[in-house]
Chains A and B, each alone.
Chain A
Amino acid sequence: MLIIGILGSQTLTKDWLETGFLALLPISEQQPDIANATRQHSQLLNRKMVWLAGAASSGQAIAHAQKLKQQLEQSPLFNKVVLEVPRQHYINQYRQLFPYRYQLLDAQTQAMLAKNPEDFIRQNLEILSSPFGQMQAADLERDPSLLFGRYFSAQQPIKLNVEQGIVVLSDQQQFWALLLTDLHDEHLQLDKLDSLLQRVNDASGQIKADGGELLVSGMALFTAQGAQSAKQEMSTVGLGSSLGIVLLLLTIFRSFRPLLLALLALGSGLLAALVLSILCFDKIHILTLVFGASLMGVAIDYALHFFCDSFDDTAWLPQQGLRFIMPGISLGLFTTLLSYAGLGLSPFPGLQQVAVFSAIGLSVAWLTVVLVFPLLLAGFRPTHRPLLLKAAAYWQQHWPLWLLRHKRGLGLTAVVFVLGGLWMLTPRDDVRLLQSPPAELTRSADKIRQLFPMSPDSQFFLVSGQDQADWYQNEQRLLQRLETLKQQQALGDYQGLSRYWPDDRLQQQNYRLIKQQLVDFGLLERYMNDLGFDQTAVKTELKQFAEAEGNRLTLPEWLAAADESKQSLWLGCADGSCQSTVALMGINDATALAALQDVPGVIWVDQAGSLSSLFARYRVKASGLLAIAFSLALAGLAVKFGWRNSLSIMSVPVAALAVALAMIGWFGQLFSLFNLFALLLVLGIGVDYGLFFFIAGDRRTGTSLGVTLSALTTLLAFGLLATSSTEIVHAFGFTVAAGIVTALLCAPLVGLKNT
């Protein structure tokens, strides 16, 4: 313990907790390119938050937003709060790109020029004579053909109304002023998430008090809500279960000693597991911690079994007690370790960590019970007969007999029940089930997406090429296909660099197109004369056009002038490969998009989707591992007691597993990779129950109390998780509860003949 304590003081001060999902996956599952692009994409997504202040008039909406901006600017959470449209940025952008105006054409203008340049001229007249054409008309001196104006406005595919320099959106009922923020950190600490939620609630309350409405969305908000509800649940569940366990142990033993000793066994096990696992893996994942700690629930069996044995002998001595329970708890530990060894062999780092963590924890807890308990239990000899002991004694005598008397009917019912449940068992592996956001949050996120459809979805395309030219060609091909899908409404919109930046060849082509269609046959000259331009203006324009022939806008130059959201699409060129991402908005048909992977150099990245399918694959694999764990435990026990006895002991966890699965099926509960961890816990505990009864001999009363107490504490600790609103936590608790109750009901059947 001392060593562990010293080691712990060193290891636990390091940064040892891993929270990213990718860390759970085998190395081969993460291609570095994709992982890198995903990181960049989600980094941007995680930091963005969209706020819409709504009111009956746009003036009021803007007033709300301005107040909101002041509040948010005072908060240290945000490093950017943007309300006013950055005009200067657009002015600079205009200046930087303007010299290349004969090289830059948007797709629509390109098509129109190629098809019929007269249409282009007609459109110019339409724009200029429109009562709304002030801006374009004001630009006529610089841009007589309005070519650049078209390109520049096509850079923003979605047209936003701006009032007082602020974007104002509207639906039928209300006006909404748009405010965008960037969070300081991509991954906020828990306390910061709390203060973020507090901020949002405060702001929302204030705007509501002023008669308006606030909509907020952002990844961080989902995380914050999840963390908050988890924390709330954990504290209620945790408080409930600890109180329950403390009260239970105190009433049974009427002494603090067993309680403190049980805590000592669990605590030392947990600490050792944590420290040694970190030494072993360098960093452990938060899920390892959660599931590893859960699986350690088996350890309390050893302690309880020890204490309960004291009721079986009026002249009980700890050393004697230990001698009696030693085979049971040692074999229990051995079979459990054997079954966890199966997990350790899997290629899933997450499972390996869980296996090592729980194995160490269990072993140390066992050591504590075996080495420390006899000393600390000296003089412990309860003289009372707790009510539960009497109940357990009565129950273990009569219950198995009743079961045996009705074995035909019960057996048939059980078989039908289990088969029916298994038949209805349907796996659901959607990773999104890990989060169960409140409906209100989802609603405002949907509403915002509808009003302001510019936030990219989490799925995206990764486009690569051997060099820039190759990359450009690949992305262009992808964008063409995306345009078709957009027309078919498979998605709202897409953002790719090559939609706005023409490469060398295309810039040349654009120039040639303008030359052939507008300049060479005098169309531009005629148009300018007809409009009433000076001769000098016409000459200047033609001269500027002629001089611009060799102009080329390189990608870095274009990027330097672009918006942040476009800059982030470019991943750069390195090691003979150039890469970019294509962001997608408003995805309706992910399958159609995923099919575009056939475009050369294009990879469809759907982190949630591939994680879900990964979960599905590992659910199947882990099921296999669970079967192996059962077989190993069975074989281990067979070596010691022979096949018949081994089968009879193992029938307890097998029945528990079957009933737990059937219950999941009957109640339509979530069945995924995570339930299998619950089943592992059921296996460990079920084996213990079977074993304890098998070797109980004439001490069945104490054993029965031990098993009942263990089942009650496990139900308090894990069964209460079934009350969680997070679906996987709930499913975990449900599975454990169903399994443990079954194991408790079946265990007294074991070892009956020995009496």
Chain B
Amino acid sequence: MLIKALLLFFLLLDPSYADAVLAQIAARLVKTDITQGDFHQQKQLKVLRKPLLSTGTFTYHQSKGVIWKTQTPVVSLLLVSGSKLLTGQGEQAVPAAFGKVFKAMLGGDLAALSEGFTLTASDQTTAWQLALTPKDEMLKSVIGTMMLSGDTELRQLEIRETGGNITLISFDNITHPAQLTAEQQADFERLSP
């Protein structure tokens, strides 16, 4: 841990080096229009003795947005694009804390991420890690850091809130189909105005 921190510290000293690492990570990521897979989410809420677990599938489409389908503990569907969020409760405001970067994260769009966050990266032979700290004051009051890690894919996402709650999402069975299924297409249809 200490070594890693030191490494990060040195990386921070040299912005050009940090940019180079980012470029390396970006180069490693598989770039396709569609990414889909399973997710396991574990939320550790300060007030609860045990974590909240949920599982389901996700679909990322480069221009259309994200379908987030939870299967357990309750079946529910969440659709999000850059400016719209649809849940079981109807259309919601996209929370500043997370909404904008959610899609960028799933799609590995590092350029979009660097707009609102300070990025610190480390790249090893097997895996890379990326830490995001919000630049915006209001965001800072909610989100401490977000950690992304992966190899050729994004494998894990960890959100540490300033209030102490931690969300950990891991992604498995990631594939890159050439086309959306009819069902996925219908879901995305609901997002378009």
Contacts and interface: CB of A to CB of B under 8 A. Distances in A.
Contacts of B167: 131, 134
A590 interface: no
A134 B45 contact: no
Contacts of B78: 130-132
B138 A131 contact: no
Interface in B93-108: 93-100, 102
A315 interface: no
Contacts of A57: 115
Given A126-B70, A138-B161, A164-B136, A132 B99 contact: yes
Nearest to B162: A138
A23 interface: no
Nearest to A130: B78
Contact of B100 (A140, A163, A532): A163
A129 interface: yes
B92 interface: yes
Contacts of B80: 132
A140 B115 CA distance: 31
Nearest to A167: B93
- Size class of B's contact patch? 35 or more
B59 interface: no
Interface string B33-69: 0000000010101111110101000000000000010
Given A164-B136, A531-B48, A532-B49, A134 B97 contact: yes
B76 A126 contact: yes
Interface in B106-131: 115-116
A126 B142 contact: no
B50 A130 contact: no
Contacts of B93: 159-162
B83 A159 contact: no
Given A135-B142, A137-B165, A129 B47 contact: no
B99 A138 contact: no
Contacts of A67: none
B169 interface: yes
Interface string B133-144: 000111100110
A407 B48 CA distance: 103
Contact of B142 (A127, A138, A164): A138
Nearest to B56: A129
Interface string A51-79: 00000011100000000000000000000
A122 interface: yes
Nearest to B47: A141
A122 B70 CA distance: 12
Contacts of A211: none
Contacts of A141: 46-47
Contacts of A58: 100
Contact of B88 (A123, A135, A140, A163): A123
Contact residues of A: prevailing secondary structure: mixed
A129 B43 contact: yes
Contacts, number: 115
A164 B138 contact: yes
A44 B167 CA distance: 45
Contacts of B46: 141
Given A126-B76, A138-B142, A531-B48, A132 B88 contact: no
B74 interface: yes
A132 B165 contact: no
Most buried by B among A134, A159, A165, A172: A134
A534 interface: yes
A691 B45 CA distance: 97
A129 B52 contact: yes
A161 B99 contact: yes
Contacts of A130: 68, 70, 76, 78, 87
B43 A137 contact: yes
Contact of A126 (B74, B91, B161): B74
Contact of A532 (B50, B95, B102, B136): B50
B166 to A, nearest CB: 11
Nearest to A122: B74
A532 B74 contact: no
A129 B73 contact: yes
Contacts of A163: 96, 100, 136
Contacts of A135: 95, 97, 142
Contacts of B165: 134, 137-138
A529 to B, nearest CB: 10
A531 B52 contact: yes
Nearest to B78: A130
B74 A125 contact: yes
A126 B97 contact: no
A666 interface: no
A678 to B, nearest CB: 49
Contacts of B137: 164-165
A532 B48 contact: yes
A518 B87 CA distance: 24
B45 A137 contact: yes
Contact of A127 (B89, B96, B99, B100): B89
A170 B83 contact: yes
Interface in A119-153: 122-123, 125-132, 134-135, 137-138, 140-141, 144
Nearest to A171: B193
B98 to A, nearest CB: 6
Given A129-B52, A533-B47, A162 B96 contact: yes
A130 B169 CA distance: 11
B115 A131 contact: no
B68 A131 contact: yes
B73 A161 contact: no
Given A170-B82, A537-B47, A134 B74 contact: no
B21 interface: no
Given A125-B73, A126-B74, A137-B45, A131 B92 contact: no
Given A131-B78, A135-B142, A531-B52, A126 B47 contact: no
B15 interface: no
B52 A131 contact: no
A87 B139 CA distance: 13
A454 to B, nearest CB: 13
A135 B78 CA distance: 16
A162 B48 CA distance: 29
Contacts of A132: 78, 80, 85, 87, 92, 94-95, 98-99, 102
B177 interface: no
A524 to B, nearest CB: 15
B159 interface: yes
Q: Which of B48, B85, B159 has the most CB of A within 10 A?
A: B48
Contacts of A161: 83, 93-94, 96, 99
Nearest to B53: A129
B88 A126 contact: yes
B96 A140 contact: no
B175 to A, nearest CB: 20
A545 to B, nearest CB: 17
A57 B111 CA distance: 13
A531 B50 CA distance: 8
A87 B85 CA distance: 22
Nearest to B88: A126
A253 B43 CA distance: 98
A159 B47 CA distance: 28
A533 B92 contact: no
B142 A134 contact: yes
Nearest to A170: B83
Residue of A126, A163, A170, A175 ringed by the most chain B CB atoms within 10 A: A126
9 contacts: A127-B89, A128-B45, A131-B78, A131-B98, A135-B142, A162-B93, A164-B96, A531-B48, A532-B49
Interface of A: 57-59, 87, 108, 122-123, 125-132, 134-135, 137-138, 140-141, 144, 159-165, 170, 172, 175, 531-534, 537
Given A131-B78, A164-B139, 4 more contacts: A59-B116, A131-B98, A161-B94, A163-B100
Top-7 shortest CB links A-B: A159-B93, A532-B48, A129-B54, A170-B83, A532-B50, A126-B76, A532-B49
